[in-house]
């Protein structure tokens, strides 16, 4: 790799890391604003104009609060738990293509940190490690409520990862690739996978709520029963890292859904826009930048949807959550695989 590419990759990775943290930070602000709108309240409005500095005030508060560690906890694991949750969350976006390619000075610069031909497996492998952060934190706290929350988190994540993985098999059957970039390129223009996989998308969406521990699947935190779940004993920035990891996971889940089902950076009439500009390099760069804006618009829509659902639906009981995962979503995902396979065979036979 040339030095120019190395410098570009370094800048790009830092930019994505900064954008991820910024979105996670201000997701807390917009969550409270959306909750206030739904509940006919005002929401944050004191720190800065329109309350825009409220996330910074919250971060400052977490930094300067007492860093308390329970006396009988496993101190090393108590510290490692939130670190694992945060590390895994920030690693997940490495293979997501946020845009096509920019051509600058004769260099083709792809808007993706790393391209691996098993990008889907990478995301699943990294995300599945996140449960260790929750489990270790709950176990190390030496608190029965924290331990119950950690056990709930582990069983919930494992259960819904099965349905989520099965729902993705149908998309992989259609695309014939595990590379997120190739899956994005195959959805050129308006040829999005959502038109072919509506059932698979619904299953994936429901599982994404469970994987991110969001209402109505927030049983691991369930403040009415477990005080705060696996992070009951945490304060200061250790708690902040758990909360940040949750919002980063929402961002990553939204990006993955946009990539797999909604065309990623592709948008209708993109070729018309490309042909309207005579300079091919300028046309490519304009289409790419518009595609980046479209990609983030899709991500922000899903983030809004996560927040909207939180303040609309009540929490499931735990037996309902497990029944939905094992008895409904997994059979539906298997049925979707069979229907997709039958459709592929029928298409090959007829055409």
Give the three-class secondary structure for 242: helix
What is the C-alpha to C-alpha distance for residues 29 and 44, in angstroms, rounded to an integer? 7
236-252 burial, b if ≥16 CB within 10 A, otherwise e?
bbbbbbbbbbbbbbbbb
How far does the chain reach from its first CA to its final CA, in angstroms? 43
Q: Is 104 helix (H, G, I), strand (E, B) or coil?
A: strand
pLDDT, position 78: 87
Q: What was the pLDDT predicted at 292?
A: 94
Domain residues for the domain of 196 are 3-350
- 50 is written with which tokens? 């329109």
Quote the pLDDT of residue 131: 86
Task: Indicate the pTM of the whole model.
Answer: 0.92
Classify 102 as helix, strand or coil.
strand
pLDDT of 257 reads 95
Locus of tokens 């120019």: 4
pLDDT of residue 226: 66
Nearest to 252 by CA among 129, 336, 83: 129
Coil/strand/helix, residue 261: helix
Environment class of residue 154 by beta-carbon count within 10 Å: exposed (0-12), middle (13-18) or buried (19+)?
middle
- Cis-peptide, bond into residue 148, ω within 30° of zero: no
User: Do 206 and 46 meet the contact criterion of CB atoms below 8 Å apart?
Assistant: no
Q: 115-151 in b/e burial notation, b at 16+ Cβ within 10 A? A: eeeebbebbbebbebbbebbbbbbbbbebebbbbbbb
What single DSSP character describes residue 314? P
Query: Using a CB cutoff of 8 Å and minimum separation of 24, what contacts does 192-196 make?
Result: 192/261, 192/262, 192/263, 192/266, 193/260, 193/261, 193/262, 193/263, 194/261, 194/262, 196/340
Q: Which residues contact 343 (CB under 8 A, 6 or more apart)?
A: none
pLDDT tens-place values along the chain, 351 residues long: 567 777 888 888 898 888 988 998 899 899 999 999 988 898 888 888 888 999 989 888 888 887 788 888 888 888 898 889 889 988 888 899 998 888 887 778 888 888 888 889 999 888 888 888 888 988 888 888 888 888 888 888 888 999 999 999 999 999 988 999 999 999 998 899 999 999 999 999 999 999 888 888 887 777 666 677 788 888 888 888 888 888 999 999 999 999 999 999 999 988 899 999 988 899 999 999 999 999 999 999 999 999 999 888 888 888 898 999 999 999 999 999 999 999 988 888 877
Q: What total number of domains does the chain contain?
A: 1
- Cα gap 78→74, rounded to integer Å: 6
């Amino acid at each position: 790799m040339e030095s120019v590419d190395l410098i570009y990759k370094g800048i790009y990775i830092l930019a994505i890391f900064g954008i991820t943290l910024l979105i996670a930070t201000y997701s807390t602000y917009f969550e409270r604003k959306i909750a206030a709108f739904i509940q006919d309240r005002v929401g944050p409005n004191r720190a800065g104009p329109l309350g825009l500095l409220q996330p910074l005030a919250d971060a400052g508060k977490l930094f300067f609060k007492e860093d308390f560690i329970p006396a009988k906890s496993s101190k090393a694991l108590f510290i490692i738990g939130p670190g694992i949750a945060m590390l895994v969350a920030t690693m997940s976006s490495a293979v997501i293509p946020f845009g096509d390619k920019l051509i600058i000075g004769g260099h083709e610069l792809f808007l993706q940190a790393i391209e691996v031909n098993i990008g889907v497996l990478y995301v699943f492998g990294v995300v599945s490690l996140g449960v260790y952060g929750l489990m270790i934190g709950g176990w190390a706290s030496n608190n029965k409520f924290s331990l119950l929350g950690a056990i709930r988190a582990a069983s919930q994540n494992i259960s819904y990862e099965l349905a989520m993985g099965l729902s993705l098999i149908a998309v992989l059957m259609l695309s014939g690739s595990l590379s997120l970039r190739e899956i994005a390129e195959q959805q050129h223009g308006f040829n999005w996978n959502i038109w072919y996989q509506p059932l698979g998308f619904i299953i994936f969406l429901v599982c994404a709520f469970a994987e991110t521990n969001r209402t109505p699947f927030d049983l691991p935190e369930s403040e009415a029963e477990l005080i705060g779940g696996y992070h009951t004993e945490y304060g200061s920035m250790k708690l902040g890292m758990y909360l940040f990891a949750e919002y980063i996971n929402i961002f990553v889940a939204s990006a993955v859904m946009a990539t797999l089902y909604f065309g990623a950076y592709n948008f209708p009439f993109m070729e018309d826009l490309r042909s309207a500009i005579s300079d091919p390099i300028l046309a490519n760069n304009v289409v790419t930048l518009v595609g980046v804006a479209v990609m983030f618009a899709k991500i922000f829509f899903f983030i809004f949807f996560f927040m909207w659902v939180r303040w609309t639906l009540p929490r499931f009981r735990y037996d309902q959550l497990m029944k939905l995962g094992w008895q409904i979503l997994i059979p539906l995902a298997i049925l979707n695989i069979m229907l997709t396979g039958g459709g592929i065979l029928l298409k090959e036979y007829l055409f």
